[in-house]
A and B are shown apart, each in its own frame.
Chain A
Amino acid sequence: MIIRRSADITPSEITPKEIYAERRRFLQTAGLGLAAAAGLTSGLIHPAEAAVVQAQTRRKLTPIVKSAYRVDEKLTPYEDVTTYNNFYEFGTGKSDPSSNAGTLHKQPWTVSIEGEVKRPKKIGLEDLLKLSPMEERIYRMRCVEGWSMVIPWVGIPLAKLIDWAEPTGNAKYVEFVSLADPDQMPGVRVPVLDWPYTEGLRLDEARHPLSLLAVGLYGEALLDQNGAPLRLVVPWKYGFKGIKSILTIRFTEKMPVSSWMRANAHEYGFYSNVNPEVDHPRWSQATERRIGEGGLFNRRRKTLMFNGYGDQVGQLYTGMDLRKYF
């Protein structure tokens, strides 16, 4: 796998975005047709080889304050964090997001604050970042599929934005909505999920100091595949709660229904807290494989309750049956 830094390439050498996007679309369509005809799909064209990080501008973020929220574990390599992704708006394969990305129009980026707030308002990304100094936080990330990473995120506490948003007394939940533009996100042309992607948190979960609005990782602005330019990180919940490319933040009185709940309420609940004792109906959640560790002989490790953040977040759920509210 090659990570090509855009600095090595002169602008004239880069194929215009529309042209390569079109080529890619053609290749994908043609490829899918061929594969279907032959009945051999992933065996021949396997994601891992297709993973070539596209020429996206890598931009350093400054200044960044080092936060005390950091787990003392080996970081997952940058290459893995940026090529092994679930971001269905860019395709359902793990390497689809990194190979299809680079198409998001991130400037300007405006987030709409709606619902149970004193008055609805919009905030540009630059202004949002003035609400609080950017912090680097090293969190574990546990995917519902049974793998995990350790990622140095850059962002601001979600609580700071909530304070600025001034929710009313009726606000009990926060709903997040992603961008869903088929011109920028090829995966949205396929109805795998009910677009746009939505997620939600209880207001106290959203206000929890661990909840982070991330704009970067490894000291740089988020690449498209990681949810540029603004995403949610809730480290004690399964990764899919970390909604990407956020456009709308809506405060509600009723519990919002997330995309995954709509897709399969039996398998994905509103809370989706990491819990080794409550299995996914189709697979175990007792263990996980840490990405970028040990290669082929990388043994599974035990999954921790609340992904190891139980001391900090356990009190949010006292008295709740976590088997029922999964």
Chain B
Amino acid sequence: MMMCKGATRLMSLRQDRPLTLRQRLSLRFHLMMCDACTECNRQFDLLHEAGRRHTPELQADDAR
């Protein structure tokens, strides 16, 4: 059984590449039972969208 930590690994991975069928199913199964991970999954989606909308002016400091 996949635990929350492993589930967040898949949530992160799905922002970067399509999950395999097996990964998709095990993530979906975990999310059905876990409210905290469901929120985390939404937060990762939001971070992804925030990155897209971020403006380069603000970002300049981060190049370091």
Q: Do A and B come from one complex?
A: no
Give the interface of B toward A (CB within 8 A). none
